[in-house]
Amino acid sequence: MKLLDLFSGIGGFHKGFEKAGFEFDWVGFSDIDKYASAVYKYRYPDAKELGDITSIRPERDLPDHIDILCGGFPCQAFSMAGKRKGFNDTRGTLFFEIARILRHFRDTEKPIPYFVLENVKGLLSHDDGRTFAVIYRVLTDIGYTVECQLLNTRWVLPQNRERIYIVGYIGKGSRAKVFPITENDELSNELKKSAQYTGTITSRYHKMGDMDTYIKVNKLKQIGVIGKDTIATRVYDSSGISTTLTDGGGMGAKTGLYRIPEATKKGYAEAKVGDSINLSVPNSKTRRGRVGKGEAQTLDTGMQQYTIDKTAIRRLTPVECMRLQGFPDDWNEKGMMDGKVVDMSDTQRYKQAGNAVSVPIVSMVAERIKDASN
């Protein structure tokens, strides 16, 4: 089989299809991030690097047929965290590059049998649904039956990451082939039974990083306050969080809790060992949902998520981020650049984790495609 992996990142789609039992004799991958592509080349040395999707010429660069096309096309244009310019953002127009490649194979009478696309939940609501309607119409006009569903990584991993998956296949179907997938169906339950995907954040994963990753509370710098200036409402820079509380609650021998300033009625949320704390916007006075109960919140490229381990607060490690996305621990430790194996910096590893698709979610979709194609 042949796989075309667009906006390929560090190979999450490829890895997910592999876990579902797919074997490929040709793989082409396309990404403009040289560090992500370096990891891909290191992990899949036989794959063909295609560079920028806008430069791909199917008649020149691709085989005469492709079995599966996949891609997590850029989400920033549709994300709630961005400015949501959609197709007015050059990143939003890259969807039409996918359509261009699909159309080429249709016109050569060798249409790609299946595609799988992934994007943020905000794609569905962008421009009152008109953006998604355009995407749906373009794909169906090419000749695909299109199915889609919101899938959440938390079904199998301790990360609350909701994404829209769009699957297309050639021909008209009398019934859905791939979706729905539910939290408690056979596929997700099989993953939950695996030791890799059970437990809470801290108990799930052996040891959560090294001691030198811990944040020293007495070195933090206050940068703001939510409401009246008290120990419970102070906000600190992105290298840490507020100091430990006393008397009024907080972290103590009896309670074992941290109170994290939030723009809620209480003015704070309680975090305990095993919870995550998001500090991506530490001085926001309107920020809510900073604390993830027993799970990480959605990983992003800046990776300002922390966890409580015993009585210390520390940033999630790159290894933990890989685990939260379903990759092996060392997946993006190294890359291949200019023919040499190089170490990836933590900054790049965090960015790659935030941009990646969740491997077990892809695997569930791939399993359904395998069943449908047999």
Which residues are marked as active site?
A: 75
H/E stretch holding 203 reads helix 201-204
Distance CA 127, CA 144 (A): 24
Beta bridge partners of 236: 222
Q: Which amino acid is it at 305?
A: Q
Distance CA 359, CA 186 (A): 17
* Angle between helical axes of 359-373 and 12-19 (0-180°, round to 10): 50
The encoded tokens of residue 321 equal 């981020």
Q: Which amino acid is it at 151?
A: L
> Under 8 Å CB-to-CB from 215, ≥6 apart: which residues?
239, 240, 241, 306, 312, 313, 314, 315
The string of DSSP letters for 118-184 reads EEETHHHHGGGGHHHHHHHHHHHHHTEEEEEEEEEGGGTSSEE-EEEEEEEEES--SS-SS----TT
HSE, side-chain direction, 13 A CA sphere, residue 322: 18
| Distance from the Cα of residue 166 to its chain's centroid | 15
Phi, psi of 159 (to 5 degrees): -140, 125
